[in-house]
Structure formats: C-alpha cells, structure tokens
Structure 1
Amino acid sequence: MKTTRFDTREHILTTGEQLCVQRGFHAMGLIELLKVAGVPKGSFYHYFASKEAFGVAMLERYFAHYHQQLRGYLDDHQGDQRQRVLDYYHQSLQTFCQESSFAGCLSVKLSAEVCDLSEPMRIALDAGSKAIIATLTSALQKAQQQQTLQRVSNAEDVAQNIYMLWLGASLLSKISRDVRPLENAWQQINLMLPAPL
C-alpha cells in the first residue's frame, strides 16, 4: 500500500517525537531518526528544510494534539467546569502513575534544551503554552459564571499558575523519579480552585 505525503510526514514527526522524549532534541541525530522511521534522507528534506524546521513542526503538532485533547475533555461535559478542570489534572496524574513513566512530555523535555538555542522552536513552545493557558482561562471563567468556583481576581493568572505548577512538577518528577511532586501539584491545584462557600 502506497503512503501519502501526509502519512510520511506524520510518520517522521511521530517517530521524532518518540525519540526526542527519550533522548532530547539535540541528542537525536537525523540518521537515527531516518533509520527508525524507515525513510530515506531525501524524504526528510522534502518535508522539512532543516532539523530546526522539523523541531518547530514537531512542537506545533504536539501542542495541537495537546490543545485538542484538553478542549475536548473540557467541552465534553456541560456541567461544572471547575470540576472538569480538576478531573483533567487528576486523570493526568493517574495516567502518569499507571504508566510509571518519567520520560515526561515533549514540552518538559525540550523547554530548557532549545529555548536558548532556537528562536523558532522557542516561539513554538511559547505559542503552544499560551494556547493551553487560554483554554484553561476560558474554563475558569465559565466556572465563575456557573458559580461553581469562588471569584478570583484574574482567571488568566490562575490558569497560568496552574500550567506553571504542573509543568514544574512534571519536571521535578522527572528529575527525582518520584510521583510526589505531581501529587503535591494536584493538591495545590485543588486549593487554587476553591468551590464557593
């Protein structure tokens, strides 16, 4: 069966993401990527002008999937948006515990590695993070409209703090090979999103 242009590009991106989560962006060589993906060198350069352009496309794809998953989860339930946000992070914690994987997500893996070395990749990370924070902000604003969340002065600040807390806890769990930082983050998120009195 012949693969389409999209299939080949997607396959390279998927393979690259898996390798980057394991090794990091700079440690992943193009020869290794092409060998694991089973595609010729010409195919890579047909889709991506450089390794950096590949990195940008990989991050954009990663955040698009992450954002779609988060929005789908929050939009799937028309009830209590506060509880839905809490459920999302609780589910993320449970998934992390079940998989016993400290490899971490792509944004955790690459944030410190590429931000000082690649401005296009830093911009992709920034844009992806801002989209997640905007979706969380919208959910918190809905929760306030529903009166399921105590009034906060700035929903965007709270959403940013939740994202920063989870990102930092994910990194610390990776460093320590211990789930406790994420468990502590989950408890703090609960405190940050109090139900009305």
Structure 2
Amino acid sequence: MSQTERHLQVKQAILRSARPLIGARGFSAVGLSQILEAAAIPKGSFYHYFSSKEHFGEALLEMYIEEYLQHTEALFRREEGNGYAKMLTYCQWWQETHVNGQIGNKCLIVKLAAEVCDLSERMRAILEVGTSEVIKRLEAVISEGQKDGSITQATSAFVLAATMYQMWLGATLMMKMTHTSQPFDVALSATQSLLQRS
C-alpha cells in the first residue's frame, strides 16, 4: 500500500468513527477531544489529516454525500419495477432509515443543514451541491416513470423531484419533533398523489 493510499485509509477511518457521534449530537456540540477519542488517535495525528475541525466537517459531509448517492443509485438499479415503483422504494428506504436506523447513522443532511450553513460557507456549499445531485437522481427516475407511463403527473420531472425531496426533508424534521412515523405516512401519501394524477 502506498503512502497516499494509507493516508486516505486512515483519514476515512477517522471520519467513519466520528460520524455516529456527529450524527447523534451535531457538529458544534462535539469537541475535538471527543472526535480524537472516537477515532482513537492523538491530537497531532488529527492535524496530519485535517487542517481544522471545519475541514474535518467538510470532508465528513463530502464522504456522506458520496456514499448517499452511491446507495441511491444502487437502490434504483436493484428495483426492477417502473419509475413509480423506484420512487416508492426510495421513500421506503428513507422512512426505514429514520424510523428503524441507529441514531448516529441517520441523514447528516437533515441533522447538520441548519447548523453548519450558518457556521461555514464551504460546508453550506457542499450541502447545496450534494442535495442538487440527489434531486438530479430523483429527476431522472421520475422522467423515466413519465416515459413508461407509471408516473402520470405531467409537471416537469425537476419540479416533482425537488418538491418531493423537500417534502421528505420536512417530514424528517417533523418526525424528530413528534417521535412518531406519522409525518412519513403523510409524506408517502402526498408523494403518491404528487406523482400520479387522480
């Protein structure tokens, strides 16, 4: 293994070990000492991989978004149904992740967006680009569904994708307040109506 590969491997190990902590508590509430403890590394080693905590946060978001997009694409490839069925599978995965998933492994976009967008322009930009990429994936599947006839709503695929994604982000925030899956039930019903004309 080359030195560059080793450097990347250790950097990713630090990010992965600290992600559940950030996912559970937020970015500002977790201090550098807690990140070091979770990663089991000395302070000097941290600065070998990240120039600052903010740089660490940027790398964490970039890694999370990349993995999220990979998972989304794999989910759509596995689903053999039409465009509508693929969108419902995506919604089901979203709901299962937040209702049944471990606290620290839930969506970092939902967890950190309001917090870090006020702290760091770079982190805000990473989130903006990342969510735009998610919406592009959804737009492509909705367009596919419109072509195969399973999505009967004639509104532009982009508008449908953006509306749906924003609705599910809102439902996730509501679920954090209500501690019930009811906001997701509402979002699923609204998604079905949004994609298929009655």
Whether TM exceeds 0.5 here: the answer is yes
Between the aligned partners of 2:51 and 2:41, the Cα distance in structure 1 is 16
Larger helix percent: 2
* Match runs of 1:125-164 below 5 Å: 125-164=127-166
Between the aligned partners of 1:107 and 1:40, the Cα distance in structure 2 is 28
* Match runs of 1:5-16 below 5 Å: 5-16=7-18
Between the aligned partners of 1:103 and 1:9, the Cα distance in structure 2 is 19
Question: Which secondary structure state, in structure 2, belongs to the residue aligned with residue 91 of structure 1?
Answer: helix
Shift of 1:182: 1.4
Shift of 1:46: 1.2
Question: Which secondary structure state, in structure 2, belongs to the residue aligned with residue 112 of structure 1?
Answer: helix
User: Are the aligned partners of 1:104 and 1:174 in contact in 2 as well (CA < 8 Å)?
Assistant: no
Q: Percent identity?
A: 35
Alignment-derived partner of residue 44 in structure 1: 46
Q: Which runs of 5+ in 1 are unaligned?
A: none
Alignment-derived partner of residue 195 in structure 2: 193
Alignment-derived partner of residue 122 in structure 1: 124
| From 74, 94, 101, the counterpart of 1:92 | 94
User: Are the aligned partners of 1:170 and 1:181 in contact in 2 as well (CA < 8 Å)?
Assistant: yes
Give CA-to-partner distance per residue, 1:109-165, whole Å, 9 cap, x none.
101101112100000111110000000000011111112111422110110011101
Q: Does 1:27 align with 2:29?
A: yes
The alignment's TM-score, normalised by the length of structure 2, stands at 0.90
Q: Which runs of 5+ in 2 are unaligned?
A: none
Alpha-carbon RMSD across the aligned residues, in angstroms, is: 2.0
Question: Which secondary structure state, in structure 2, belongs to the residue aligned with residue 129 of structure 1?
Answer: helix
Shift of 1:43: 1.8
Letter matched to residue 63 of structure 1: I
User: 1:67–1:103: structure 2 CA closer, same or farther, 3 Å change rule?
Assistant: closer
Give CA-to-partner distance per residue, 1:87-114, whole Å, 9 cap, x none.
2212332343334859842111101101
Mean alpha-carbon deviation: is it higher for 94-103 or for 61-70? 94-103
The alignment's TM-score, normalised by the length of structure 1, stands at 0.90
Between the aligned partners of 1:20 and 1:170, the Cα distance in structure 2 is 17
Question: Which secondary structure state, in structure 1, belongs to the residue aligned with residue 75 of structure 2?
Answer: helix
User: 1:102–1:11: structure 2 CA closer, same or farther, 3 Å change rule?
Assistant: closer
Between the aligned partners of 1:77 and 1:170, the Cα distance in structure 2 is 24
Aligned length: 194
Question: Which secondary structure state, in structure 2, belongs to the residue aligned with residue 13 of structure 1?
Answer: helix
